Structure 1
């Protein structure tokens, strides 16, 4: 009996220690000049203001790397990612080809990033097919970026893989948003793909002197992308007049910004972290209005691919309590 009691006490002590360590953890975000970083610091402030046990440190990261880091759970336990990258991670596809991330779960989805396929209004490009027909010079982001994956998958769905694009004279180079925007402004490239909410600050700066236009994704192509199960939302538009050369709503795909967590994090800790964010969504909307306006627990649950399987049990408990799973 004493041996059983000692074993029970030891297990309880270990579980309590694990939970205590989970309350005090590192959260991985984007670069300090990204949209994710101020949201991460706001989340950490909310957690530490509302939950006495919590001590969260925000560190810089990036979309793909965040999933890898949270999956290992060594240095960070929570972080931001794109829903489409999360799907790739758990299925071992895209940037995670052959390397499924088996230890990462979602806490929830928070707001959409709409992919802006941008050109200058005075360019000859009025459609995605024109990009191929006229052999455009494109910077879709850096290799493995969510924007680069969106570009690649859009054109693959049209029947143009890397080889077909090259044969058509399409030149694909790589770089960050700022570099791509500068090169488009200077006439070095024709097309860039960038994520906005809904517009992109760098493209808005160009639009002040040279009208920016967006290329729309046709309905049949949106349906194909939806059927592929990439984790994109395919029923959204960039509102008209987001840029001076874009007078009508422009259909596109979107990747929701989500929070991921190591699956071994204590269920009670994840439950409290999840609950505290959603119960303070008014503060998020006040301090981060363009993102906070989207906050809704039903989307938090519903915009995760296979939510009952891919959301952490602690977070799932909260969504069930508030009826978001109905």
Structure 2
């Protein structure tokens, strides 16, 4: 019989003072034989694909690891890296490979702010950036969106979705200031709020990460079709040349959304799992092992994301993996032969 589930969704602030142990940071020898270890895992916004994946991972860890209690907290990609780097309110979390590369090198949004305390467990699956309008919208392209003075919610300031939106528009030759002068409105909010406002006609476009579909948008699509906008080839080339760490040769496959009959080119980045570097090596080893040895369960419960997961790619898709993967996870990759 499985343990009683302890997975919850809380704001990061509400976790302060709740954590009894810093999720195994320091010198513990694993979870067996100890009192409970309370671990905070920081996910994505409600309505994002990271949340159900985080709940599933938490369930797997609690099933496989004795006395390991996991609380899932809401977060956002770039903020997640900073939270895990601090290690106070979250000890593991989701991030994007491109943001992680910036974080450990002190580049991009982390310019001059190297995140020295964050390491990776591994890469998980691609996240496709969905620039989505309602299917009955007159907007047929990103240039249409600009010229028609569209209104978008690309997430919250500093989110990976917001940063990607900014970079795509800049690759098209427009800063946010340029867009504002042209009548474009950029507001901020969670994935779920943005999806609701898109459905209700309050905004014209959302930008959200999916694998490849976005959960909240698929729910809308079931009753009112939505439509992803393509990113032009020259914009994709400019993004690639800028060295942001995006993948630019993948598409949102035809049929991802109800009325989508063609593949849609877009930018892609890998979703990855990160931990605080001071987490106990044995605990991180157990976390890594539990995930990869429950791959069949992940693929069964989350097929859209789980189908892309592979332990070898989990190692190789991390920038400088021998340096940036936590020793506990690295131990597992060496054990199964994907790392030397």
- Structure 1 partner of 2:15: none
Counterparts of 1:271 and 1:21 in 2: how far apart (Å)?
Answer: 11
Pick aligned residue for 1:107 from 109, 117, 121: 121
TM-superposed deviation, 1:94: 5.2
Pick aligned residue for 2:131 from 110, 117, 125: 117
SS in 2 for 1:195: strand
Which sections of structure 1, spanning at least 5 residues, go unmatched? 1-15
- Structure 2 partner of 1:18: 26
Counterparts of 2:337 and 2:205 in 1: how far apart (Å)?
Answer: 43
SS in 1 for 2:192: helix
Q: Identify the structure with the greater helix proportion.
A: 1
The Cα RMSD (Å) is 2.7
Pick aligned residue for 1:281 from 274, 288, 295: 295
Equivalence map 1:125-164=2 (5 Å): 125-164=139-178
SS in 2 for 1:194: strand
Counterparts of 1:101 and 1:42 in 2: how far apart (Å)?
Answer: 27
- TM-score calculated relative to the size of structure 2: 0.80
- Mark the CA change 1:184 to 1:33 in structure 2 (over 3 Å): closer, same or farther: closer
- Mark the CA change 1:246 to 1:78 in structure 2 (over 3 Å): closer, same or farther: same
Pick aligned residue for 2:234 from 220, 223, 231: 220
TM-superposed deviation, 1:185: 2.7
SS in 2 for 1:118: strand
Query: Are 1:25 and 1:76, in contact at CA under 8 Å, matched by a contact in 2?
Result: no
TM-superposed deviation, 1:17: 9.2
The answer on 1:253 being equivalent to 2:261 is: no
- TM-score calculated relative to the size of structure 1: 0.83
Which sections of structure 2, spanning at least 5 residues, go unmatched? 1-23, 32-36
Counterparts of 1:74 and 1:183 in 2: how far apart (Å)?
Answer: 34
Counterparts of 1:17 and 1:171 in 2: how far apart (Å)?
Answer: 44
Equivalence map 1:23-102=2 (5 Å): 23=31, 24-30=37-43, 34-52=48-66, 55-63=68-76, 64-93=78-107, 95-102=109-116
Counterparts of 2:323 and 2:226 in 1: how far apart (Å)?
Answer: 41
TM-superposed deviation, 1:209: 4.7
SS in 2 for 1:282: helix
- Mark the CA change 1:38 to 1:180 in structure 2 (over 3 Å): closer, same or farther: closer
Counterparts of 1:184 and 1:173 in 2: how far apart (Å)?
Answer: 12
- Mark the CA change 1:173 to 1:86 in structure 2 (over 3 Å): closer, same or farther: same
